[in-house]
Structure 1
Amino acid sequence: MLLNNTIKHAQPIVISLCINLHGHHLNYTFEDNGISYSKNTARKGIGFKNIKERTTAINTTFNIYSHPQRGTHITIEVPIL
């Protein structure tokens, strides 16, 4: 979902996905250099809402950092049982 929405809406040139195991957590970092995400200018879609609901359902941490003209940085931290 992240990759598809990024390509569709952000117009990036570079997209990166990094997956790391850190202690008892699996960390996903997703970054792009697109036009960035803004709560004020974003369409009222269900993409981030669905991601937030899914990550909450499995007790994960989900954060979005958006930098105008520098893209979006998303982190998801999943506890490993």
Structure 2
Amino acid sequence: MADPAYQGTHAITPRKKPRGGELSVGDKANNMSISSTRSAVERCIAHLKNWKMLANGYRGRLTELPTVIRIACP
């Protein structure tokens, strides 16, 4: 998923409002769904960047890394 600047790529992007027109109710709902998912992912990435152990490199067992990431991203 990406923001509207990436339209034309293979990423899922919200629809832009057409010139002189309005988006349909379905398009607005779809845009809201995409935006809410993207914002949750962006918050999770920002949260991970604040973790010093991930900024300096993870030195734990690689088998435990998925669990650490799940804990950091509620």
Structure-1-length-normalised TM-score:
0.28
Greater per-residue helix proportion = 2
Structure-2-length-normalised TM-score:
0.30
Greater per-residue strand proportion = 1
Which structure has the bigger radius of gyration? 2
- With CA pairs under 8 Å and 6+ residues apart, which has the higher RCO, 1 or 2? 1
